[in-house]
Structure 1
Amino acid sequence: MGKGEKSNGELEAVGSKFPLSFKEVATASTVVFGFVLGLLCVYLTMPASDYSFLKLPRTLEDIQILRYHLESYTSDYTAQVLVGYCAVYIFMQTFMIPGTVFMSLLAGSLFGVLKGVALVVFAATAGASSCFFFSKLIGRPLLFSLWPDKLEFFQAQVAKRRERLLNYMLFLRLTPTLPNTFINFASPIVDVPYHTFFLATLLGLIPAAFVTVKAGLTLGELQSIGDLYDFQSIATLFFIGVVSITPTLTSVKEKQYMAVYLPVDYTNKCCSHWR
């Protein structure tokens, strides 16, 4: 049984009770308190204004209200808005709070395509990294309790594609094979190295960020989130994802061929030479 794996009996035992120990709950509470305190400090350092419109966006209407109030404010206090935006985005990513797609739309509406994409990719990568390290503290018991099957699938895929792991992680970022929030939280548990996670996140989020941020330029024309991704956008993302994972698939097939058709000693010599 591989590292981090549990038998069915162990999984049932974990799922039958609250998965976190007192120490883990205390650790998680401390982290949450630190983030909330940071957000409060950002809020208190903002220039005086009426902030009654501020809230985490949940709908397109929320984004349109935020844009209406923030357009003139952003031109006067650009740095403060950028800091506040990044703080909120990272907070949402760290604790897997839904709504970051609305934040990406807001970035496009306020800052345009180029600046908006740079802002979203930076904030999303920072937030994903924060979630990655938060999971190192408390993620294992939660994942085994909540999503054991999904975690087992992810762990098997990572183990199988270890030599081309960056390609596989890029594929996951570019396609909806697994939710991004799950990838962020599960990656340290299945032993994805942080540098691989970081590069795959930084590069893999760019295409989807571009699509969403660009849609923010015409925010008033959107009727639903489904309007963000037309067939051409989805097909393009899948094509890029397939291209990214092709080297991994080729590597697996080569190993299977060598194992079946070549003598064991010769295979080992070849693999040793390629490494």
Structure 2
Amino acid sequence: MKGKGGNVGSRFPLSFWEVGAASSVVLGFVLCLLGVYQTMPASDYSFLKLPRTLEDLQILSMMWMLFCRDHLETYTIDYTAQVLVWYCVVYISMQTFMIPGTVFMSLLAGALFGVLKGVALVVFTATAGASSCYFLSKLIGRPLVFSLWPDKLSFFQEQVARRRGGLLNYMLFLRLTPTLPNTFINVASPIVDVPYHIFFLATLIGLIPAAYVTVKAGTALGELQSIGDLYDFNSIATLFLIGIISITPTLMSKSKS
């Protein structure tokens, strides 16, 4: 691995064709975002900007609530589809290109759609975005991962090789606990030969608990003082417990062998 990564520093890590492919993907997402933006009602979409801070999100939620109070029935009938498409395109784009801020989008889902619909929306968009990132990394990510996270990649590759028999449980454990960042898992999984069906199932199932915690917090957005309020000790302990349960079958099978 060191030999492969050693050449990266002496030259640009991507070839001309890889840069072209990546640029095409970026252009496609940009055109989608512009298309969604242009189709939003001119009088209504001015407040629908991407939230970058908790304060931005609180302001956005408050404006939405005021808007819904006066125009809920009309807006639901006429523009709900546009809002859902806008949300999905933005969230998937952020996941694909590793743009920070998806936690704010998850909070927004709770504020706008409630717990049940919000969790379903977040899990769908997060899984779609992670899958998009997986395939983009499979196409052009190897030199970038080697240059950005060589130590984490070595650790991840070793763990995946050791746990081939119970890889789904291990990937679930990673999704449920903050052992490795989700962004790194999305990018590195195709590099260390995690099969897509394992990646997909672990992502779809493993993101549900954290999505529930964040979306539920979004329903009481005005009470949040900081992002730290999202994950108290009980929430983190619960996620770790679920993660440990998910990997227990693998550990037991290893001990029997």
Corresponding residue number in structure 1 for 2:43: 49
Q: Which runs of 5+ in 2 are unaligned?
A: none
Q: Over alpha carbons, which structure has the higher Rg? A: 1
The answer (yes or no) to whether the contact 1:90–1:124 under 8 Å persists in 2 is yes
Which string of whole-angstrom CA distances, capped at 9 and with x for unpartnered residues, describes residues 124-156 of structure 1?
Answer: 011111111111111111001111111111011
- Offset at 1:253? 2.3
Shift of 1:50: 5.0
TM-score, scaled to structure 1: 0.87
Aligned to 2:125: 123
User: In 1, distance between residues paired with 2:185 and 2:203?
Assistant: 10
Aligned pairs, number: 249
1:16, CA displacement in angstroms?
3.2
Q: Tell me the equivalent position of 1:12.
A: 6
Correspondent of 1:79 among 78, 81, 86: 81
Aligned residue identity for 2:219: L
Aligned 8 A contact 1:101 1:212 in 2: yes
Q: Is the 8 A contact 1:211 1:228 kept in 2?
A: yes
- C-alpha separation between the residues in 2 aligned to 1:83 and 1:91? 12
Would the alpha carbon gap of residues 225 and 203 (structure 1) be closer, same or farther in structure 2, given more than 3 Å must change?
Answer: same
1:26 corresponds to which of 20, 28, 47: 20
Which of 98, 101, 105 aligns to 1:99? It is 101
Task: Kindly state the Cα deviation for residue 70 of structure 1 after the two structures are TM-superposed.
Answer: 3.0
**Contact between 2:5 and 2:143, CA under 8 Å: does it hold in 1?**
no
1:65-122 per-residue CA deviation (whole Å, 9 max, x = no partner) reads 2213334369412221111101100000000000000000000011111111011001
Query: Relative to structure 2, which stretch is displaced further, 28-37 or 16-25?
Result: 16-25
Q: Take 1:164 and 1:54, find their aligned partners in 2: how far apart are those partners?
A: 43
Q: Deviations over 1:140-181 (max 9, x none)?
A: 110011111111110111111111111000000000000001
**Residue in structure 2 matched with residue 191 of structure 1 by the alignment:** 193
- Picking from 212, 230, 233, the partner of 2:214 is 212
Q: Is the 8 A contact 1:58 1:102 kept in 2?
A: yes
Distance in 2 between residues matched to 1:47 and 1:248, nearest whole Å: 52
Which consecutive unaligned segments of at least 5 residues does structure 1 have?
A: 1-5, 256-275
Task: Return 10-19 or 104-113, whichever deviates more.
Answer: 10-19
What is the alpha-carbon distance in structure 2 between the residues aligned to residue 78 and residue 208 of structure 1? 25
Kindly provide the CA deviation profile for residues 228-255 of structure 1, in whole angstroms up to 9, marking residues without a partner as x: 0111111100000000001111222233
> What's the counterpart of residue 29 of structure 2?
35
Corresponding residue of 1:150:
152
Mapped pair 1:110 → 2:104: no
When normalised by structure 2's length, the TM-score is 0.93
Asked if 1:180 is matched to 2:209, the reply is no
Match of 2:219, SS?
helix
Deviating beyond 6 angstroms after TM superposition, the runs of 4 or more aligned structure 1 residues are: none
RMSD over equivalenced CA pairs, Å: 1.4
In structure 2, what residue type is equivalent to 1:63? L
What SS does the aligned partner of 1:112 have?
helix
Of 53, 60, 71, the residue aligned with 1:59 is 53
| Contact preservation (8 Å) 1:15, 1:146 | no
What letter corresponds to residue 174 of structure 1 in structure 2? L
CA distance in 2, matches of 1:120, 1:236: 20
Identity across matched positions, percent: 78
Distance 2:6 2:44 in 1: 51
